[in-house]
Structure 1
Amino acid sequence: MANWDDDNEPFILEPLPDTTQAPEAYPGHLNHFIPSPVRSYNTNRNKRRAQRKGENAFKRRKNTENISVSDSNGGTPGLGNMLPTIDECEVPIATIDPDVDENPFVAEPLAVEDTDGDDTYQEFVSLVEDQCISFVHVATRVYVVEGFDARKKEGTGLFYHFEARKRGTALDLVCQCPGGKDICVHRQFYEEFRETRFAAQEAHLDLDGDVVCFARIQIDVEKDVWISRFSVAGGTASDTGRSRAIVTFEGVGSGAGKWQCSKDRDLHRTECAHMTRAKKLLDLITGNAGAEVGEDDISDKMYMVDGMNAGGNSERSISYLPIMPPRWALLPEDEILYPYPPPNADLPELLALDEQSRSFCGEHFFNPQAPKLQKDCTVYTLTHTVLRKVELQWCPGCPRRRQCFIGPEPRALGLFNYNNSVMFTHELMDELTSRYTSSETPFTAFVQAVDRLYTSRGCRFVGEDLFRSAWFAFATNQELKNDMSCSECGVHPKTVVWDGVTISFAKRHLKDTLQPPTCITKNAPKRKRTRVHKQQWLPHANDKTTPVRKLLVNWVRKWGDKKPAESMTKAVNVDVEASSEEEDIELSAKDSGISETTRRNGEFQEVERRLLEIGAAPVRDLLVEVYGTGGDTLHWRLRKRYKMLLEQIGAEESVLQMVNEKGLRALKAFVECPDANSISLLTDIPVLMMILEHLTHSQKSIASLVALSKWMIQRVEAVLSQLKNKHDVPLQRLPMGEVTTEDWRKVSSDRRSR
């Protein structure tokens, strides 16, 4: 098989991984800019596997030493991990994959939001304009934005919801990104371009889909593998950004694959409500939806954002010509494609176009007759940066908004053109290959080491994610033949050696003083219960009857989706010429329909009576308006929101869950002047606000909702008064003892002595 002795372990023979897959472009970035950076948090085993595939290809070429490399620090070198997958995406996500080694719910890497300098914000604007960072409009007031790392000047690959809502005459901007509590770049960008970019989009009140696909990228053409991302509303009528979840699917076009949801983090669940709703839209997109798709699945609730389907382009960089492996990995039978450029050669001031220059889409080449333009680009060498001009041409086949350029192919200069703005020398890329095949050098360590070298020379290196994506694109272009075979065993050896490491903590490191954080100490202050009973909208009278709130919710859920005359439609349609047997069947159906209508009306009258008994006449009036005889003409979407409003009023929870003190002030302002500005103040009561907006937009009466709001104000004030009259025990100020710190060099020795 292979030559090995007592000092060297036999290396693992594996075929070269398939490198024909295309990396996922930023969702909505039209697949020709910087690929989405990797934010991995739970895929150490997959990373080690991908790294072994890449290192073995070079070890076979080098054939001088066999060193086992494990990427325990989070790097992902290797040829097998060319793409950001579902395990390396967006927000902290609950994975459904049971084959994870570690707890997947580690903290999300925070996007550094630093807006102190104009340069940082202008860099963000430039990236958004170049469609390198997502800022996607998914609903009337809701956007999906991508995090921004101000230090590295790149996207984080983590996605958040951004909400722009009018509150009276003021504009209320809420961003869910880590810097959203301050003035983040997303808020700055929206405020600057609100009138020119976003005002026209937000004018459509009907654009409030519950499930929106904002990215669908084909990452493997042969296997038909796609990554689809959805913004999914919650189960309530709220359309706020915080009520929505980011759902990601990675799998084949037929729908088989892995799902992730940013809201549901239960490992024991294989599906959540957000995933279920996203699957319905995916079935509509792929054509797998059956005849069971009904009213709740129609297209005005589920849609794709226009222009976000980037297709299946397999290109990853401007450079596309095959690149020779480094000299130390070159085999005698390898073809010399071009002379190796000298490592210290001076680069021309202008990287000009030539006959080999090609567009990112791969469809068009340099046209000497077409106009040209010049832009700045940065070349990253092994020790410093070099600023140069790059010559470009607009791609004649792509729309201008895609910013697709024909760029130079500087392979002969020893350069790798990643995206016309960032280039890397072959020497730098080969240096990482050399390090991780000879020692444990993950991407994180390599980027940090190079960045320190750059800092000593007064410049900065690129971020880890950008370099990782560029290196994988570079490695894809490298001309490595599939020569992974043994001279004795061939391609498929009978014995394959796998190595592994088992890590655990010794029992001696545990101390008897270890206690859970919920342990109650002897001196803990004791407080009496301060619970106020009957805080619900519809309190119970403490008798043996069924609570009225339960009757209301049960009736709405049982009959709310059916129109009053719906149950009678089939029953009255009797064929007079039918036979006696057929007449008996139809009469039976008619009797069944009549009895169903009778039950519906009887239960409805019982709910009315009980609501009037407890003084909830406005709720009763609203119920009659929506589900009475005149309710047949209401739009199904408006009926659904009325249903949610009544369910919230009948919920087994305090009124303060729905209307807090801030919402109470907004309700009072609305009751005093029920106009469009006061309606926009009700952002803390979203279901009520959306119903009012719908009615005012269609010029219908809102008198019943004004009366309901007055009743809600009285109920909230009554509960607040009861809560504020309770006397609470003041907090005890515990004395802070003197804090002593031990010398860290003595801690381990003291612990061992115990």
Structure 2
Amino acid sequence: MSSPIWGPIRLKTPPASPGPSRITLASDEDDTYGPIISPIKHSRTVRDITLRPTGSNNRRKRAKKKNVVPSTELGEAQLQIGLDSVLPHDPIIHESEAMNMDVEEQPRELDTAGITQDHLDKGYQEYISAVMEDGTGFFQIAQNMFVVNGWDVKTKRSKDTWYHIQRSTIGSERVFVCTCPASHPDASCVHGHFLQEHGLELFPVDPDLSDIDQDIVLFSRQIGLDDQGFLNYFSCPSPIKRGLAGRTVVTYEGEDDANGRWKCEKDIGNCSHIGSCRKKLLQLVQGDPDAKDSGVVEDFYENPAKASGSEKSVSYKQRPPPIWASLPGDPVSAPIPPRFGPQHLALDDESSCSCREEACLRFRPQDTGAIRTSPCTVYGLFEPSKITIELQTCICKYRLIGPDCISHGLFNYNNKLLFTHEILDEYTAAYTSSETPFSAWNLVVSRRYNLQNASFCSAETFRSAWFAYTKLQYLEGDMLCPKCGPCPENTIWDGVTLAFNRKHLLPSLEPPTISQPSSIVRHATSYVPKQQLLPDSPARKAVQKVINGPPLIMQLEHQTDPDEDEEDDEDDDEDAMESARTRSLRKRNRELLERLNAIPVAIAQLAAKNPALSRLFDQHFGNNAVVNGVVPPGVYKRFFLQISAEESVLQMANLDGLNALQDFLKNPSRLNASALVNIPVLHELLEYEFRQHGLLSADVLEVCHWITDRGDFILGWLKEHSTPPLQLTATNCIEKPWTDTGCCYGMPKIRERPIYPKLKHDTRPDPGGKRGAKCSKFYSQYGEKKLTGGIMCVWCTHSVCYGFHCIPRGEGRNDVFSALVTRWKKAPKCQGSPRSGPRSGSGSGSGLRSDPRSCLRSDLSPRSAPRFPLRSCAPAPATPPELRFQIPRGL
């Protein structure tokens, strides 16, 4: 059967005024097939735009359109799609309307009521004019998603950056979310304010528009500079992240062979977005759905350099933080020294030795015979300086006393190598702004030094000096968000797996998972089994077997008889490639047969739990759907993946979600369905049904009732097995230095982590052994190779870091629960009772710990550099509510 052929591609390029700007593929009514049509962008003549206050009776007038002449024909005359599910199934030609034409518009009047002084300062009126005059991009790529140019609030001009903005309705409230830096919960950016004020007028909700989520959209195509090639703009989703945050803009400039210049707004180098957009472009112009971007590297590895050197330095006085990281409560910063320092550094009464022994800590003025002058090197921002330094032999006989040099803006590392505060703070600014490895930054500075025919120190030396310097900086006092307070209700936990070797394990590390002799023993706490939405494991496995993988209809169309290839293989036994292809076909056909055989099993298992759920599954994934060539909608695949997930039903629908679902079932309207944002997969399914059919079927409503009943049952069962809340048993606990314990939080320790004798992982003394993937991220790769964990950090929703701790073993979410129990007086909403575990952490029960500095001394590669704020911690004030956290949850 021949592949379907689509008609000419007609691109809608940037509009003269806001309107739906999207690109689709279609066939002509006369069944003729032409090339890509790329309209030439002519100059526009636009009259002045009049901004009038609310109450004006003037109306918009339509622009007068002129004829447009297509550009030179490029690309192939036919587009063969094959079975690529990304491309549309119903082709519709989309002609250019009011696009890239000579336009003469009448004055455009927009109401400006509600414009605050903040928006005036951001140039909101200038932004309206820019949008109306086509001076800045504002493209609609879906019903409720747009691509916009950045806006410079200082110059009040458009920028060449791109952002996405999404509008949605939750209940009766319209919500606008923009990815530009100026958008935050307390104030909207110019994009969101413009869409809020004029979105319904300029971009009405069009039911014919697709509500894309994972589609790549070519939203603009222009002739390139000097009429060479084309300039294409794509809106590309992330392969692993759905929604607004996963989208980025990819730009391509060049001919239609996709070998020109690519640029991604989000990633560089190894970028999956570029590969996806290149494939999309080749599909559009060459009919090549299997095109791959050979220029993108798929695997990237970097071997970190070994840590070396000592973190002890001659300088010992506390250093002020960088100016850009200073806080109002910080000690007075030292004055900025002159760029060119002294040529000789003399000893003073505060000079010291790096050994830090009390007997030899300070300079001895009376012992003049032990004083000598030596040369040293001062490394600055642009070049080194050769100066002299005055030293005195220490009584330890193998070290020298030297000046601290803080008054000169210098850091004395070892009396031979000194660094200016500027160059050390510059690396701090670099790595806290972007992922900057020591080796890469050292190479940049070395090239700068080469301009002066000088050389910089090695990366290992600078790494040791930088860590010694940061240990002296005052970075305390900021682990408290002024908006969230001492115990934020919503927290974000994430970790980085460093996998340092067990040889670094020391008995000083005390993560929150460690129990103490005074810890409460929870004898009654045990695992509560079968909390899943589908409690039977065979039912979950059967559903997952059917829906995991590509659509079965696509596999059937690609199915090949392996016997035919086997005959070819017998004719030529030496053809290894053909033999491998035969084995691959056999494996694929075997997997296909297993998936087909699992369909009736899954339907029967689901019918035993809920007949309506079984009918929905049969409708989209049953044998009839496969035979009729029905490709299941992605929303139903995600729904049944969640239904069959190996986790508690309360992970899918927490207490707030269950309450909202009960309110919806009382009045199942679209308005009430929009409030189910706490159950994302169900919210998406209901929106899809309303959009496609205008109402909900009886089966969908019955499934909603079943989810509610199951969630209420599990929640009530857990409450019956709950234990009394923990008391403040560690109020008099003395905090140890975080450099020894590896645990640093803005809140003091108020409880000890309980002991759970009935939990098998809580009594295991050995940090090794196979744990699986339920609670331990990447543990199978690291734990079995005698490697350990990494660092766990917590933020509030305003990006303020509330603390971190080193993980001696791969524990994952159990480290999170233990930190919450030991530090939080009131549990965060996102980690409340229904979602907490049967224990509040996994105690290793082992005397093995790790030196936290071994985690930090390794070279920070682009894959391992933790992104948490520079500043450290300060004790936070207490809040009265008690923590109820011990409701068990099965793992």
TM-score (norm 2): 0.37
Q: Higher relative contact order by CA 8 Å / sep ≥ 6: 1 or 2?
A: 1
TM-score (norm 1): 0.43
Name the structure with the higher helix share: 1
